Structure 1
Amino acid sequence: MREAQNAVPSGASHVRVWDLPTRVFHWTLATSVLGSYLSSEWGEMEWHARFGYFALSLILFRLGWGLWGGRYARFSSFLRAPRAVLAYVKGTQSQRLGHNPLGGYSVVALLVLVLVQALTGLATDDNISFRGPLVAHLSEGWVSVASSIHANLQGVLYAMIGLHLAAIAFYVVKKKRNLVGPMISGDAMMERPLEDGEAPSRDDVWLRLGALATWLAALSLILTALTYLSR
């Protein structure tokens, strides 16, 4: 691994882009979505709910982390103006650290889809094996709406995940850029010197402890709400 990192083109360098909390979030969210899907397919609805609660805690964490997290995890670093997205699509924008302008909006779309799925799951009643904790506190009409959204939106979520994976494959095959490696190691290879305003992301112990505190706060909020709703 060390030899591979040293074998870089002249003028290129490895730069810390993804802090550890962002990487852990990425892979644990992927695991929770997969677990939610499989548990539903296998009829394990208690586990389906648990994966949903865990995913919700991760999304709440990411919303906070998008405001005060590492440099390239912040929404302000990758939610660009429409002209930046257009320049990227036209291929007139040079390589930049973090998410590209189009990828940034796809990240937000995925976060919103998972959030809506998790929230509507709380109010879903399939009249067979699952009854969300909010069902007892809502009218039949609202439960019906939430259940319908939860059932129908999952196809959109899976389609977005498919597009995400297709984009990764496109970058590997056509652009010869590995997007998976940096989300594991945290480091991306820049084929040019860093410009003014560009810098490696923080990834120190204090940042990581802050991330842990943020997620624990989100998890505590969810568990407290579930305890209240179960009374």
Structure 2
Amino acid sequence: MPQAPPEGVKVRLWDGPVRIVHWLLVALIGFSWWASEDHLDWHQWSGYGVVGLLLFRIYWGFAGGAAGRFASFVRGPRATLAYLKTVSARTPSVTAGHNPLGALSILALLGLLAVQVTTGLFAVDVDAYQGGPLSHMVSFDQGRRLADFHELSFRGLQALVALHVAAVVFYLVWKRTNLIGPMITGFRWLPVDPGLARAPLWRLALGVALAGAIAWFISKGLRL
């Protein structure tokens, strides 16, 4: 009988939807940043893509596979503090999915991203020539304040992304745990197989349809 590698067993951790949404958000946020100055039409369409991805990820956090569900990785203060005490130890992390600190990072990123896209939907530029699809629902002054907050929240999002990347590098260098590979391949070596359940295909199809329809409806200014 072949022996298992020293790392343990190869586990299917992240499903395709989680990985695809993760990397598409990385690409679209970067593209939106680049297009924000001289290509506002592209910036707007990219923002609609982010809205759809964000809506789907929130849905998938309740209806998706076990590893990607919020209930599987969001922990209370006691568990988070207990995990915090182990971070300085130079031992590989064997948490199946997001650890309690990573969970806080994910929630913060999703929350701030929600603020970012929501303010963008209502924002108006200085000459009132161009605005988000929901800018007709607010006054010009309100739209300008939301535009300023849209820019400010992006600075916060940049800081969180930088912190997220620093944490990934820390785990790779100090704790000898590669978090990038599993987010690409979906697989990770763990001491034991946690037996993570997968979501049925119909839930994926439903989530894509709902997120796409809502994002499209928003892009039309909530007008049919």
Deviations 1:149-194 (A, max 9, x none): 101111100010001111111111111111010001111111x234
Q: Quote the Cα distance in structure 1 between the aligned partners of 2:206 and 2:161.
A: 28
SS in 2 for 1:14: strand
Greater alpha carbon shift after TM alignment, 50-59 vs 217-226: 217-226
Alignment partner of 1:8 out of 5, 8, 15: 5
Structure 2 counterparts to residues 185-196 of structure 1, below 5 A: 185-190=185-190, 192-194=191-193
* 8 Å CA contact retained: 1:120, 1:149: yes
Q: Quote the Cα distance in structure 2 between the aligned partners of 1:166 and 1:8.
A: 29
Post-superposition offset of 1:225: 3.2
- 1:183 and 2:190 correspond: no
Post-superposition offset of 1:7: 8.3
Task: Report what 1:127 is aligned to.
Answer: 126
Deviations 1:41-89 (A, max 9, x none): 4x11111011111001111111111111000100001110111111111
Q: Quote the Cα distance in structure 2 between the aligned partners of 1:159 and 1:109.
A: 11
Identify if the C-alpha distance between structure 1 residues 7 and 180 changes in structure 2 by more than 3 Å, giving closer, same or farther.
farther
Identify if the C-alpha distance between structure 1 residues 183 and 146 changes in structure 2 by more than 3 Å, giving closer, same or farther.
same
* 8 Å CA contact retained: 1:18, 1:201: no
Q: Quote the Cα distance in structure 2 between the aligned partners of 1:77 and 1:33.
A: 26
Alignment TM-score, normalising by the size of structure 1: 0.86
Task: Report what 2:65 is aligned to.
Answer: 70
Q: Quote the Cα distance in structure 1 between the aligned partners of 2:160 and 2:6.
A: 34
Q: Quote the Cα distance in structure 2 between the aligned partners of 1:224 and 1:26.
A: 23
Aligned residues: CA RMSD: 2.2
* 8 Å CA contact retained: 2:48, 2:219: no
Q: Which AA in structure 1 matches 2:211? A: A
Q: Quote the Cα distance in structure 1 between the aligned partners of 2:140 and 2:213.
A: 29
Q: Quote the Cα distance in structure 2 between the aligned partners of 1:130 and 1:173.
A: 46
Identity of aligned residues (%): 38
Q: Which AA in structure 2 matches 1:8? A: P
Task: Report what 1:105 is aligned to.
Answer: 104
Task: Report what 1:85 is aligned to.
Answer: 80
Task: Report what 2:219 is aligned to.
Answer: 226
Q: Quote the Cα distance in structure 1 between the aligned partners of 2:98 and 2:67.
A: 8
SS in 2 for 1:188: strand
Post-superposition offset of 1:115: 1.1
Structure 1 residue ranges without an equivalent (≥5) = 1-5
Identify if the C-alpha distance between structure 1 residues 164 and 46 changes in structure 2 by more than 3 Å, giving closer, same or farther.
same
Structure 2 counterparts to residues 200-219 of structure 1, below 5 A: 200-202=196-198, 206-207=200-201, 209-219=202-212
Structure 2 residue ranges without an equivalent (≥5) = none
Q: Quote the Cα distance in structure 1 between the aligned partners of 2:130 and 2:4.
A: 53
Task: Report what 1:3 is aligned to.
Answer: none
Q: Quote the Cα distance in structure 2 between the aligned partners of 1:103 and 1:15.
A: 19
Q: Which AA in structure 1 matches 2:163? A: L
User: What is the total number of aligned residue pairs between the two structures?
Assistant: 217
Task: Report what 1:136 is aligned to.
Answer: 136
- 1:151 and 2:151 correspond: yes
Q: Quote the Cα distance in structure 2 between the aligned partners of 1:130 and 1:228.
A: 13
Q: Which AA in structure 2 matches 1:36? A: S
Q: Which AA in structure 1 matches 2:83? A: Y
Q: Quote the Cα distance in structure 2 between the aligned partners of 1:86 and 1:97.
A: 18
SS in 2 for 1:132: coil
Q: Quote the Cα distance in structure 2 between the aligned partners of 1:179 and 1:120.
A: 32
Alignment TM-score, normalising by the size of structure 2: 0.89
* 8 Å CA contact retained: 2:65, 2:197: yes
Identify if the C-alpha distance between structure 1 residues 135 and 102 changes in structure 2 by more than 3 Å, giving closer, same or farther.
same
* 8 Å CA contact retained: 1:16, 1:201: no
Task: Report what 1:118 is aligned to.
Answer: 117
